[in-house]
Amino acid sequence: MVPTLLLAVCFVEAVFGLDAQEAQLMLKVHNEHREYRSKCGETGIVPAEELLQPLEWNDELEAAAQRWSQKCDVHDKEPTGKVGKFDSVGRNIAVQSELAGAVTYWMKESDHYDHKSDHCEPPHQCDSYKQVVQSDTAYVGCGYTKCSSFVNPNEMFIVCFYSPA
């Protein structure tokens, strides 16, 4: 009986979720990147009519992002769908050892993005970057899980949901 119980415990994912300080950090990092883009910190990427407003933290999006992270499936392409009052929800995912590192990772996609043509240089992907800096987006909520399947025990599966997407 004891060996069976120990085996079952070994496969349980370590679920965490953001505390208030971590949620504040994620919101701050998102808004710093949006502010940087709005101030044209990168040459010619923001038309004046597209100045980005700060995002607001949303607990419904946070809870949904936390549930998504608990799946520990970094390859899940299933549409996010509706979340609470939000009909249009976008999702970014990253495996990082620091929470703020996820947003920085998504923002690095801008290195391969042509803002004038709205295209990303092949074979790169820029959808995560575009989600962070989309002018219509007003709300964000994030969650994370330390997944037992990850080789590095310090890595977290970080998920952020955005609305409108």
* 152 part of a folded domain: yes
Average confidence (pLDDT) over 102-122: 91
Asked if residue 77 belongs to a domain, the reply is yes
Cβ within 8 Å of residue 6, ≥6 positions away: none
The percentage of the chain sitting over the pLDDT mark of 90, rounded to a whole number, equals 65
Q: Are 57 and 27 in contact (CB under 8 A)?
A: yes
Instruction: For residue 35, give every residue at least 6 positions away whose Cβ sits within 8 Å of its Cβ, in sequence order, or none.
Output: 52, 54
Interacting residues of 60 by C-beta distance below 8 A, sequence separation 6+: 83, 84, 85, 86, 141
Asked if 64 contacts 56 with a C-beta cutoff of 8 angstroms, the reply is no
Q: Are 81 and 60 in contact (CB under 8 A)?
A: no
Does 78 fall in a domain? yes
pLDDT computed for residue 142 by the predictor: 98
46 or 87, which is more confident: 87
CA atoms of 25 and 11, how far apart (whole Å): 30
Percent pLDDT > 70 in the chain is 84
What is the CB-side half-sphere exposure of residue 113 using CA atoms within 13 A?
20
pLDDT at 23: 97
pLDDT of residue 114: 84
Contact by Cβ (8 Å): 65, 142: yes
Question: What is the band of 4 on the pLDDT scale with cuts at 50, 70, 90?
Answer: very low
Model pLDDT for residues 5-20, shown as the tens digit of each residue: 444 344 445 667 899 9
Where in the sequence is the domain holding 75, given as residue range(s)? 16-163
* Count of structural domains, the chain: 1
Cβ neighbors of 126 (< 8 A, separation 6 or more) are 109, 110, 112, 113, 120
Identify the DSSP state of 119: E
- Look at residue 2 and tell me if it is in a domain: no
Examine residue 7 and state whether it is found in any structural domain, yes or no: no
Q: Confidence band (pLDDT; 50, 70, 90) for 40? A: low
Q: Token match 């939000």: residue? A: 86
Mean pLDDT, range 124-137, rounded to an integer: 92
CATH of the domain at 57: 3.40.33.10
Q: What's the chain's length in residues?
A: 165
- The residue written with tokens 């609470």 in the block is 84
pLDDT tens column, 54-106: 999 999 999 999 999 999 998 887 777 889 999 999 999 999 999 999 999 99
Average pLDDT over all residues of the chain = 86
